[in-house]
Amino acid sequence: MGPGPSEVPPSVLRIMSAPTLGHLDPEFLQVMDEIADMLRVIFGTKNRLTMPMSGTGSAGMETLFVNLLQPGARVLIGVNGVFGTRMAEVARRCGAEVITAETEWGRVFSPEDLAAKTRGQRFDVIALVHAETSTGAAQPLEGMRAVADTCGALLLTDCVTSLGGMPVELDHYGVDAAYSGTQKCLSCPPGLAPVSLSARAEAVMAKRNQPVQSWYLDLGLIAKYWGGERAYHHTAPVNQLYGLHEALRLVLEEGLEARYARHAENGQALERGLQTLGLSLWVEVEHRLTQLTSVRLPKGFDDMRGRHFLLENFGIEVGGGLGPMAGQVWRIGLMGHGSQRSNVELCLRGVAASMAEQGLPVPKMEVL
Amino acid sequence: MGPGPSEVPPSVLRIMSAPTLGHLDPEFLQVMDEIADMLRVIFGTKNRLTMPMSGTGSAGMETLFVNLLQPGARVLIGVNGVFGTRMAEVARRCGAEVITAETEWGRVFSPEDLAAKTRGQRFDVIALVHAETSTGAAQPLEGMRAVADTCGALLLTDCVTSLGGMPVELDHYGVDAAYSGTQKCLSCPPGLAPVSLSARAEAVMAKRNQPVQSWYLDLGLIAKYWGGERAYHHTAPVNQLYGLHEALRLVLEEGLEARYARHAENGQALERGLQTLGLSLWVEVEHRLTQLTSVRLPKGFDDMRGRHFLLENFGIEVGGGLGPMAGQVWRIGLMGHGSQRSNVELCLRGVAASMAEQGLPVPKMEVL
């Protein structure tokens, strides 16, 4: 119940034990095609260039920047947590000029915030974190396409913690490039990074005059393996892909709307329970992720002692705070398969017990 | 029985279905430590910086070049197959000046060949492929350290197909940087890239004046996660690492010498059998890998029809030729768990049957 990896359903774990097929075996090629098709549905896109990269979510982030940027490119990045900070670092390593829009960790950006930064200048990419795993904030995407259009930029989003847990809808919001990970709301073990790029993004890549600085993440080469030609690039992580195939199948079997509703319901139940325990939440209610909740630790509460207690006595792992939030919050995930009413209740019991163990006053359990 | 992924033992597949622990869970940190220790034994090294990267073998290749090179670095690369060619491409994308030593695919380099290229000039890295997966040639490493020393270079080797199937012995040969994959002689599904770097290589990295161009593969950051600090970098591919842990345990349980002897014995049995069938081998006997054999297709034999026949009727996948060897050879792997006498016999029967199916003369099976 931390900020990922999330709990993995038994059938996903089981299928990862299937015999390893060759990466060019006809049966395996069909698995790949089905993965790409299912990802398109969950990303809410018709983008041809949609597939999982052979690395974790951070490799997905790097994939987009190395393919879309050349030295001297100008990038505007919204920084309100660890992953905006990381995007800025990765973009700089591509030789880009990085301008950041910044706000407090846990807050989000309005289109006006970004427009105030772009001021009509040309940008190559505007990048935002859709669901900030380090804070629990949900970044609205409405209106961001228009800002990108005023400066000729591609719109890029980090969907690591959003994909499969809340609507992503790339085409609806006009997102050109998105990356995700498998270990959050898709409930697949970590190791793959789904990405999707629009025709506009493909056109930008086609106009490059320098090779992509990463051979391993070069979409021009990888698309030939995932596309019709099946040209060997690298040996695909076959068993991981079995797991992703089953995880995506489960997402679609449940149905996107039902799945998002489940995440919202359980997340809100957790929020209410924490508040009943007298705790307050880091993010304002209108921008709160329901799959990941940052709760402020009460005064006098020892963070590490509490996390250790929770792991030892309840078998629950939660995440600590990062950066300016270190020591001030716990990050509790209810992601994918882990978003279950029973987990909400177990977690609330565990939090209450850990407060009691540290001598803090705790409302009677009946109130929960 | 292609050039990888190889057959995976049941216990390796099974452990990949274990519940996904958090990447900072104390139990998982112990798994990581044991993986690093076992890799050191199999790499034949005491190198501190030894661990699996979170990508396939090609990510391991890229890891070494992006961390060891800066723009303007000079690199000498031995090119005698696909993977030397790929190393040259990756090094160029790091902004390096790449000089290649070239020989026919299937042949190898002597120290004198390389010395003739370096001619006392300064180089930053000399890179060789220890076991060329595209040809089946084994590159001797004896004497290469001395050549590297004459030009102040680090010695780098591709051990993707050698690790776990033949002696690698990095410290003995004075190799400074090596990468491998999990899906060849370690018999673990693809998805991880073991790397090992010497103190000399670490000193080169410490003197960098520019950041590593890849954030995802930045060893300075990753070493803090794999080392004592356990600083979060990216979410480790937990279940893949379970598989690698078990695969390495099986390698050491068998014993390195016994394992290498098994590979040699089965590889030689396959060679003899193919020759008995009237076929000839691409690589000269003294530089032949026993874990991967390139056999010339007989005159008039249809490559794709034969491979399809073998897959359909014997359940055997073999690799075709690449580059200048396309259509001319089959590449037959006897790697790791797949290096079994029964596989040798099944494969020889299959090759004989596929020749017969195409109307070619085949010696009586008793001869095999």
| Average confidence (pLDDT) over B10-27 | 95
A350: which 2 tokens?
């565990």
* Contact criterion met (CB < 8 Å) for B62 and A5: no
A260: which 2 tokens?
């998002």
- Partners of residue A67 in chain B, C-beta under 8 Å: none
Predicted local confidence at residue A366, as pLDDT: 61
Q: Are A326 and A82 in contact (CB under 8 A)?
A: no
CA distance A138 to A290: 9
Give exposure, A203-233, as e/b (b: 16+ Cβ within 10 Å): ebbeeeeeebbbbbbbbebbbebbeeeeeeb
* Contact criterion met (CB < 8 Å) for B235 and A5: yes
B310 and B233 inside one domain: no
Predicted local confidence at residue A365, as pLDDT: 63
B176 and B298 inside one domain: no
Which CATH number fits the domain that encloses residue A277? Answer: 3.90.1150.10
What is the phi/psi pair of residue B292, to 5°? -150, 120
Pick from B4, B21, B317: CB nearest A235: B4
B143: distance to nearest CA of chain A, Å? 31
A134 and A242 inside one domain: yes
Give exposure, A138-174, as e/b (b: 16+ Cβ within 10 Å): bbebeebbebbebbebbbbbbbbbbbbbbebebeebb
Q: Are A82 and A161 in contact (CB under 8 A)?
A: no
B281 and B343 inside one domain: yes
> Do the domain assignments include residue A5?
no
Q: How confident is the model at residue A271 (pLDDT cuts 50, 70, 90)?
A: very high
* Contact criterion met (CB < 8 Å) for B59 and A58: no
B188 and B320 inside one domain: no
A38 and A178 inside one domain: yes
> What residue of A is the nearest CA neighbor of B4?
A22
B21: distance to nearest CA of chain A, Å? 8
> What residue of A is the nearest CA neighbor of B13?
A17
- Partners of residue B237 in chain A, C-beta under 8 Å: 56, 189-191, 240
Interface probe, candidates B12, B21, B93, B235, chain A, greatest A C-beta count within 10 A: B235
pLDDT at residue B211 greater than cutoff 60:
yes
Euclidean distance between the first and the last CA atom of chain B, given in angstroms as a whole number = 19
Euclidean distance between the first and the last CA atom of chain A, given in angstroms as a whole number = 19
> Do the domain assignments include residue A81?
yes
Interface probe, candidates A14, A53, A216, chain B, greatest B C-beta count within 10 A: A216
CA distances from B179 to A217, B51, B57, B197 (A): 18, 10, 7, 9
CA distances from A278 to A346, A355, A362 (A): 17, 11, 8
- Partners of residue B189 in chain A, C-beta under 8 Å: 20, 237-240
Last residue of a domain, one of B217, B233, B253: B253
Count of all residues that appear for chain A in the document: 368
Q: What is the pLDDT of residues B277-325, one digit of tens each?
A: 999 999 999 999 999 999 999 999 999 999 999 999 999 999 999 999 9
- Partners of residue B243 in chain A, C-beta under 8 Å: 239
* Contact criterion met (CB < 8 Å) for B16 and A17: yes
Q: How confident is the model at residue A228 (pLDDT cuts 50, 70, 90)?
A: confident
* Contact criterion met (CB < 8 Å) for B4 and A214: no
Q: What is the pLDDT of residues A128-178, one digit of tens each?
A: 999 999 999 999 999 999 999 999 999 999 999 999 999 999 999 999 999
- Partners of residue B232 in chain A, C-beta under 8 Å: 322
Q: How confident is the model at residue B366 (pLDDT cuts 50, 70, 90)?
A: low
pLDDT at residue A269 greater than cutoff 80:
yes
CA distance A34 to A38: 6
Q: Are B218 and B99 in contact (CB under 8 A)?
A: no
pLDDT at residue B368 greater than cutoff 80:
no
Give exposure, A97-126, as e/b (b: 16+ Cβ within 10 Å): ebebbbbebbbbbebeebbebbeeeebbbb
- Partners of residue B5 in chain A, C-beta under 8 Å: 20-23, 235, 238
A68: distance to nearest CA of chain B, Å? 15
> Do the domain assignments include residue B5?
no
- Going by C-beta distance under 8 Å and a sequence separation of 6 or more, which residues neighbour residue A257? none
> Do the domain assignments include residue B67?
yes
CA distances from A361 to A26, A277, A348, A357, B154 (A): 62, 9, 14, 10, 62
- Partners of residue B59 in chain A, C-beta under 8 Å: 54-55, 216, 234
Our count of domains for chain B comes to 2
- Partners of residue A190 in chain B, C-beta under 8 Å: 20, 23, 235-238
Q: Using N-to-C axis directions, what is the helix angle for A256-276 and A341-357, rounded to 10°?
A: 20
Q: What is the pLDDT of residues B135-183, one digit of tens each?
A: 999 999 999 999 999 999 999 999 999 999 999 999 999 999 999 999 9
* Contact criterion met (CB < 8 Å) for B189 and A2: no
- Partners of residue B235 in chain A, C-beta under 8 Å: 4-5, 56-58, 181, 183, 190
Count of all residues that appear for chain B in the document: 368
* Contact criterion met (CB < 8 Å) for B190 and A235: yes
> Do the domain assignments include residue A1?
no
B237 and B361 inside one domain: no
A243 and A262 inside one domain: no
Strand partners, A156: A127, A177
B300 and B277 inside one domain: yes
* Contact criterion met (CB < 8 Å) for B62 and A215: yes
* Contact criterion met (CB < 8 Å) for A62 and B216: yes
Which CATH number fits the domain that encloses residue B167? Answer: 3.40.640.10
CA distance B21 to B137: 40
A22: distance to nearest CA of chain B, Å? 6
Predicted local confidence at residue B228, as pLDDT: 78
* Contact criterion met (CB < 8 Å) for A5 and B17: no
> Do the domain assignments include residue A4?
no
Q: What is the pLDDT of residues B54-93, one digit of tens each?
A: 999 999 999 999 999 999 999 999 999 999 999 999 999 9
CA distances from A40 to A65, A145, B312 (A): 21, 20, 33
> What residue of A is the nearest CA neighbor of B191?
A237
- Partners of residue A55 in chain B, C-beta under 8 Å: 54-55, 59, 216
Q: What is the CA radius of gyration of chain B?
A: 21
B86 and B174 inside one domain: yes
pLDDT at residue B367 greater than cutoff 60:
no
pLDDT at residue B364 greater than cutoff 80:
no
* Contact criterion met (CB < 8 Å) for B239 and A94: no
pTM for this prediction: 0.96
User: What ipTM score was computed for the predicted complex, to two decimals?
Assistant: 0.96
Predicted local confidence at residue A229, as pLDDT: 87
* Contact criterion met (CB < 8 Å) for B238 and A56: no
Q: Are A36 and A51 in contact (CB under 8 A)?
A: yes
Rounded to 10 degrees, the C-alpha dihedral B353/B324/B139/B261 comes to -10
- Partners of residue B16 in chain A, C-beta under 8 Å: 13, 16-17, 239
- Partners of residue B57 in chain A, C-beta under 8 Å: 234-235
Give exposure, B16-35, as e/b (b: 16+ Cβ within 10 Å): bbbebbbbbbeebbebbeeb
- Partners of residue B58 in chain A, C-beta under 8 Å: 215-216, 233-235
Mean pLDDT across chain A, nearest whole number?
96
Residue range(s) defining the domain that contains residue A336? 257-367
B295 and B199 inside one domain: no
Among the listed ranges A28-37, B20-29, B247-256, which one has the minimum average pLDDT value?
B20-29
* Contact criterion met (CB < 8 Å) for A215 and B89: yes
* Contact criterion met (CB < 8 Å) for B23 and A240: no
* Contact criterion met (CB < 8 Å) for B56 and A237: yes
* Contact criterion met (CB < 8 Å) for A189 and B4: no
Last residue of a domain, one of B236, B253, B270: B253
pLDDT at residue B365 greater than cutoff 90:
no
CA distances from A244 to A2, A52, A247, A251, B39 (A): 20, 9, 5, 10, 28
> What residue of A is the nearest CA neighbor of B25?
A317
* Contact criterion met (CB < 8 Å) for B54 and A56: yes
* Contact criterion met (CB < 8 Å) for A58 and B181: no
* Contact criterion met (CB < 8 Å) for B213 and A181: no
Q: What is the pLDDT of residues A25-67, one digit of tens each?
A: 889 999 999 999 999 999 999 999 999 999 999 999 999 999 9
> What residue of B is the nearest CA neighbor of A89?
B215
B265 and B336 inside one domain: yes
> Do the domain assignments include residue B4?
no
A106: which 2 tokens?
């846990």
> Do the domain assignments include residue B213?
yes
Last residue of a domain, one of A237, A253, A269: A253
Counts of helices then strands in chain A (DSSP H, E)? 13, 12
Q: What is the pLDDT of residues A296-342, one digit of tens each?
A: 999 999 999 999 999 999 999 999 999 999 999 999 999 999 999 99
Q: How confident is the model at residue A11 (pLDDT cuts 50, 70, 90)?
A: very high
